[in-house]
Amino acid sequence: MVSIFASALSALLLLSGCGTLTTIPLGNMPASVVSAPEDTLEPDSSAQTVSSPLQQSSPAVSSEHERESSENVLSAPEEESSENVLSEPEEKSSENVLSAPEEESSETVRSESEEESSLVMPSEPLHEPAPETSEPEKVVDLTDISMNITSIDLPVGRRYRLSCHLSPDDATNTDFVWYVNGTEYIRLDPDGTITGLAIGKAVITAETYNGLTAVCKINVVESLYTPDPEQMVDESWFDNAVFVGDSLTNCLTIYTEKYGGLGNAEFVPAAGIGYHSALWDLDTEGNVHPVYYGKKILTEDAVQLSGKQNVFIMLGMNDFAWSIDSTVNAMRELTDRIKYKCPYANIYIQSVTPLISSIHRDDDLNNGNIAIFNEHIRQFCLEKGYTYLDVASAVQDENGCLRDEYCLDSYYMGLHFNDLGCQVWIDYLRSHVG
């Protein structure tokens, strides 16, 4: 309808050469007028100019109206034309707008949308494509299982952690289960930790899903070191403690991270450090100072930064390249530095622990020299008023050697502690610091 009306106006302008109709604001005409029925419009002269081209009830009426409209347009001045347009009351416009039947519009919209939807092709296929086939994942079976130990003498009340090695490393399924024969003598935790309950024998078996097995025989014996329960302090006593030492102290650090036992103590170990190397400057080539919160610092500074009052020192294993007197002097210098930084610190010096009997070295690190040096440590502590802790007495056998069952590296160095040895170490400390 709007396009027919625009064509009629263009024809009139061409015939008359008059530009008065260009002032008629087509945008002000209600859009719903196009869909309004004939009987809703009043047949006054002012409305004919606008409504007659839109109605077009029949070709005859349309041509007659066109002639009348052209005469009215040519004879009407510009002011009258604008008045005719402006004189149409607002109520009439609103009535025309409201008179448009909603049902018809909705039906028209529905019919148009249905036609459009019937022509639109679906953007996606109606059926999902079949998934691409891929080769099945290769299954790698286990071929072997072994335990970290095959037998152990476990003292009553002590713990040890069993672990299994599975081959090959890229096996698809690495599940296995534990079986215990002798639950009255040992307790087995899901992570492989065993605890001696009573004197007797037990067998632990680990079995894989495909029937492979590994076995460990356990002989629960009387405890080799039994601390006096009345003398033992609660582990929270060590909340105010810091431990300084070499790789042996690192073993203790790892153990307490797994099992606890020393409260919230801090540890500042450094593998390879000794009383002599602890005195080196930070810029000394090959220095082995401890790393504290990501920064390598001097031992006395680490103690100060820890804010702990009770300082436990175990050094000396890496000092046997020097004379014992030289090492004692280095011990004196280090403890003086710590006391200077921490005047109220309580110093606890632990003995050097022995090697297992099967280790024979070519240097001066041997159990004889360790015993001599420990006596010098004891005398030094008496002189300075420090506490001497004879940890060696708790872990050595009748010959002064480290017990094999406490050793982590019996096949190599023969001096580091396993979990069982660390547990004895902790028990000794807890029963000798009160």
Q: What is the pLDDT of residue 361?
A: 86
Sheet holding 159-161, edge to edge: 159-161, 193-196, 186-188
Residues 12-23 as b/e (b if ≥16 CB within 10 A, e otherwise) read beeeeeeebbee
Chain segment 314-358, per-residue pLDDT in tens: 999 999 999 999 999 999 999 999 999 999 999 999 999 999 999
Where in the chain do CATH 2.60.40.1080 domains reside? 144-221
Confidence of residue 73 (pLDDT cuts 50, 70, 90): very low
Q: CB within 8 A of 331, min separation 6: which ones? A: 275, 315, 316, 349, 377, 380
* β-sheet bridge partners, residue 268: 244
Chain segment 35-67, per-residue pLDDT in tens: 344 444 344 443 333 333 333 434 443 444 444
Assign domain 144-221 to a CATH class: mainly beta
Query: For residues 338 and 347, what is the distance between their CA atoms, to the nearest angstrom?
Result: 9
Where in the chain do CATH 3.40.50.1110 domains reside? 235-430
| pLDDT beyond 90 at 262 | yes
Q: What is the pLDDT of residue 36?
A: 40
Specify whether the CB–CB gap between 250 and 271 falls below 8 A.
Answer: yes
Neighbours of 408 (CB within 10 A): 18
Query: How distant, in Å, are the alpha carbons of 95, 101, 119 from that of 55?
Result: 17, 17, 32
Q: What is the pLDDT of residue 432?
A: 95
List, as own/partner pairs, every contact residues 380-384 make where C-beta atoms lie below 8 angstroms and the sequence separation is at least 24, other chains included. Answer: 380/328, 380/331, 380/332, 380/349, 381/349, 384/332, 384/335, 384/347
* β-sheet bridge partners, residue 295: 292
Average model confidence (pLDDT) for the chain? 78
Specify whether the CB–CB gap between 176 and 145 falls below 8 A.
Answer: yes
Report the pLDDT averaged over residues 165-173: 92
Which amino acid, 254?
Answer: I
| pLDDT beyond 50 at 76 | no
Pair of tokens at residue 157: 């009340």
Higher-scoring residue by pLDDT: 413, 116: 413
What angle, 0 to 180 degrees and rounded to 10, lies between the N-to-C axes of helices 324-341 and 299-306?
40
Chain segment 198-238, per-residue pLDDT in tens: 999 999 999 999 999 999 999 998 877 778 888 899 999 99
Q: What is the pLDDT of residue 130?
A: 62
Give the torsion through C-alpha atoms of 109, 111, 112, 118, to 10 deg.
Answer: 140
Q: What is the pLDDT of residue 415?
A: 94
Q: What is the pLDDT of residue 136?
A: 74
Query: For residues 35 and 51, what is the distance between their CA atoms, to the nearest angstrom?
Result: 12
Question: Global pTM?
Answer: 0.58
Confidence of residue 108 (pLDDT cuts 50, 70, 90): very low
Which amino acid, 13?
Answer: L
Chain segment 377-391, per-residue pLDDT in tens: 999 999 999 999 999
Domain at 235-430: CATH code? 3.40.50.1110
Share of the chain above pLDDT 70, in %: 69
Chain segment 112-144, per-residue pLDDT in tens: 544 444 444 555 555 566 666 677 778 899 999
Q: What is the pLDDT of residue 259?
A: 83
Range name among 76-90, 122-136, 288-302 with the lowest pLDDT average? 76-90
Which amino acid, 296?
Answer: K
Report the pLDDT averaged over residues 11-21: 45
Q: CB within 8 A of 210, min separation 6: which ones? A: 141, 142
Pair of tokens at residue 193: 């930790």
